[in-house]
Amino acid sequence: MSESLSKNIAIIIVLSIISYSCNTLKRLPENELLYTGAETSVEGEAPRKYKKQVEDKIEGLAIPKPNSKILGMRLGLWAYQKVERGEAGFYAKWVNKRIGEEPVLMSDVEPEQVEKLYYNRLENLGFFYGEVESDTIHKKETGSATYVVRPGDRLMISDYTYRSYGDTTLDSLITAHVKEQKIILPDQPYTLEKLTTEREAIATYLKENGYYYFVEKYLLYTADSIETAQDNYASLTLSVKQSTPEDALLRYKIGDITVYPKYSIKLDSGSSKTDSTVYKDVTFIQEDTFFKPYRMYPYLLINEGDFYAQENEEFTLRRLNSLETYRFVNIRYEEDSVKENGIGFLNTSLYLSPTNKRAFRAELQGVSQSNNFAGPTFNVEYENRNLFRGGEIFTVRGKVGYQAQLSGRETSGLSNFETGIGGELTFPRLIAPGKLESRFRYSVPRTKANLSYDLLRRVKLFTLHSFLAELGYQWKGNAYVTHTINPISINVINLSKSTAEFDSILSNNQLLQSSFDQQFIAGLNYSFEYNKLIRAEKVSRFYVLFNADFAGNTISLVKKIGGESGPEQEFLGQQYAQYSKLDVDVRHYLNIGEESHFVSRIFAGFGFPYGNSESLPYSKQYFSGGPNSVRAFRIRSLGPGSFVPEESGSRGAFFDQAGDIKLEANLEYRFPLVSVLKGAVFTDAGNVWLKNGGPTKEFSKNWIDQVAVGAGIGLRVDIEFFVIRLDVATPLRKVDGNGNFFWQDNFNLGSKSWRQDNVIWNFGIGYPF
């Protein structure tokens, strides 16, 4: 682009902005000025940290908000005015429908109301003698407002005490909580937020100790500045209101407990036949035996004779809701008329509404991968959500798929046929020696048994059979943490019907052959997931996934005890793999506005083959490139290290692009466009390396010099529960034919061959991370 053309474009943009602005100002109501916003400043001698608190609390209080601008233009106002005058074309109507705004005028500004808001926030922070001044500025066609806030002296707390109500139990509980929590302390500033937090915490604590009807509004604060010798200090006293209702001052125990495991409206009307069973003082009323009482009882943390505790109620609800057998769970309390020694009783009923016991799903997918493989995949699934009448979930899944490589130069003509069947049985309890379930209050652990078989036939190359058997446990530590451990994991892979072409590929690559030879993988794996993404209202959120996978150690130990040794040991006639594999995936979401997000991700994975293995088994290796990785490179096309296949695009190279070590980093800015259509700008970096594989492939201290970088843009159709994604990216840093990484500075979009090698399209379902 020439310099003169660039200047002309810049002039046109500036003139357009001026034209838009002038047009909107000329079409205001008569004798009106357009309000352009307010400036607020905090002045005075208050400490800097106090000024920052004031600025944070009063930010955004100045009303009304001025008309919004996009690139200096009030497009929303412009479109609104066009429509109002009946002069709008298609574009103006389209803009008005989405972001149209009525003009915000100086006559809408009420400085006195804004001052009241500022005074309110100052008092909430303890500045009871602050000052706020306001002024308005009128120009030819626009106007604005200014506010000066002077907080003044801040009220401090000299001492904090609780005034006895006269109820020994109530007084002792509140006194103990105040001393232990130390939410409000002497020599701290008075703030409404701290006082509110204290009241809510005390009310919650009392609910945990039987005070079912007690709420925070029954607590009262009084401040007295006369009793203190220091200026700007006050003595703070907490008390229970004398007008507090009697039932709020009464402690309650749990009375009779009744559970309806198959609740429906028919049950209420009495038209359904029911049976009553008592198990450990809990009455179960249900039609026939929908859910076995002794299986449901461990989910209940509400026990007859215990004082009511809100946490027990919440945990019981959470545990019952975790059963996929049920759609709705509700707990109701009814106060008993009988009281003993000043203690009330709450008769408790639990209503559980089942979901459909059986479900069948079938879907046909159109799969398109960035290595030019495309084709249909048919998936079916059957699920029984209450197999043995104890909440057990039995799932059978099957799939049949076919993909062909539509265009791949030397690799064209390859096709995949895959099919598989698997079954999973989930028990909503811990099946293990010993009584450990009492240790899991937050949620009940699940025991999962999984058995599956998959067949992959790569036409003209090989057929691969894979058998997987796993037994493990999953549980939630809290709302954000999930643990999964599979102490038994056995994967048997059988390579058969390999062609002469594929045998030649293996014979020319000893490391690749080794990764296919190790067909027996037995060990254990563990994963830790920390997911704060569910807190969508938070500005900053983290997600962490840690995986650990160990294989072959138990077999090796047993063989050593038996006196067997050798460089290539076998188990059941097959060479078994030995390795340790650790990886971590860390993601950070930063909300910028209501719908815009800045997302960053770091992935680090390290596999350590040893003993019986030179490299990780092929199914356990890392790959880089593709729609959920470094998107400027085709799937599995990066690495290892600076390795370059002798024949770029050959079938042998396709299998060689794997490693034992993987490092990746991603940055992505996501923003709204129109309705459900979202946009993204991103950059990705990463590669894979081998633990043992020669200087060009191995991980070394110079790994940073072998990192590939790419960037691109994307479009997403986001319908909340479903996301369709299309990304296009190009390499910024890649390896040349000599194995040297370089920064690309020649983006020849007009060249077809350049586009084929450097413009990579990625289609995906869901966000990449």
User: Is the pLDDT at 498 greater than 70, yes or no?
Assistant: yes
What is the arithmetic mean of pLDDT over 544-552?
A: 95
CATH 2.60.40.4070 assigned to domain 156-249? The reply is no
Q: How many CB atoms lie within 10 A of CB 339?
A: 12
Q: Average per-residue pLDDT in the chain?
A: 87
Write down the pLDDT at residue 12: 43
User: Is the pLDDT at 455 greater than 90, yes or no?
Assistant: yes
Q: How many CB atoms lie within 10 A of CB 633?
A: 26
Nearest-angstrom CA–CA distance, 482 and 299 = 19
User: Is the pLDDT at 511 greater than 80, yes or no?
Assistant: no
Q: How many CB atoms lie within 10 A of CB 366?
A: 9
What is the arithmetic mean of pLDDT over 748-759?
A: 86
**Which residue, 526, 495, 531, is CA-closest to 513?**
495
Least confident of 284-288, 306-310, 394-398: 284-288
Nearest-angstrom CA–CA distance, 573 and 559 = 14
pLDDT tens per residue, range 709-748: 999 999 998 877 778 899 999 999 999 888 899 999 888 8
Residue 6 confidence class, pLDDT cut points 50, 70, 90:
very low
Least confident of 78-82, 558-562, 594-598: 558-562
Nearest-angstrom CA–CA distance, 727 and 638 = 18
User: Is the pLDDT at 2 greater than 60, yes or no?
Assistant: no
Write down the pLDDT at residue 584: 98
pLDDT tens per residue, range 88-134: 788 788 888 878 899 999 999 999 999 999 999 999 999 998 999 99
- Helix 192-207 to helix 111-124 angle (10° resolution) is 60
What is the arithmetic mean of pLDDT over 696-718?
A: 91
On whether the CB atoms of residues 538 and 591 are closer than 8 A, the answer is yes
Nearest-angstrom CA–CA distance, 596 and 615 = 42
Least confident of 138-147, 202-211, 748-757: 748-757
Amino acid at 62: A
CATH 3.30.499.10 assigned to domain 251-354? The reply is no
Quick one: DSSP state of residue 103? P
Quick one: DSSP state of residue 329? E
- Shared fold status for 11-67+103-150 and 251-354: yes
Nearest-angstrom CA–CA distance, 115 and 475 = 52
The topology (CATH level 3) of 622-769 is Porin (2.40.160)
Write down the pLDDT at residue 493: 86
Write down the pLDDT at residue 373: 64
Write down the pLDDT at residue 366: 63
CA 291 vs CA 71, 203, 262, 295: distances in Å: 63, 36, 8, 7
- Tokens read off for 571: 């188990």
What is the arithmetic mean of pLDDT over 272-276?
A: 73
Q: Which residues pair with 376 in a beta bridge?
A: 366
User: Is the pLDDT at 315 greater than 90, yes or no?
Assistant: yes
The topology (CATH level 3) of 11-67+103-150 is Ubiquitin-like (UB roll) (3.10.20)
The domains of the chain are located at 11-67+103-150, 156-249, 251-354, 622-769
On whether the CB atoms of residues 448 and 483 are closer than 8 A, the answer is no
Write down the pLDDT at residue 11: 45
User: Is the pLDDT at 396 greater than 50, yes or no?
Assistant: yes
Q: In residues, how long is the chain?
A: 769
Nearest-angstrom CA–CA distance, 663 and 674 = 35
Write down the pLDDT at residue 372: 58
Write down the pLDDT at residue 225: 78
Write down the pLDDT at residue 459: 80
Quick one: DSSP state of residue 229? S
> Considering the entire predicted model, what is its pTM?
0.79
Instruction: Rank 35-49, 536-550, 637-651 by mean pLDDT and report only the highest.
Output: 536-550
Q: What is the dihedral of CA 110, 115, 120, 124, to 10 degrees?
A: 140
User: Is the pLDDT at 30 greater than 70, yes or no?
Assistant: yes
Residue 9 confidence class, pLDDT cut points 50, 70, 90:
very low
Write down the pLDDT at residue 13: 44
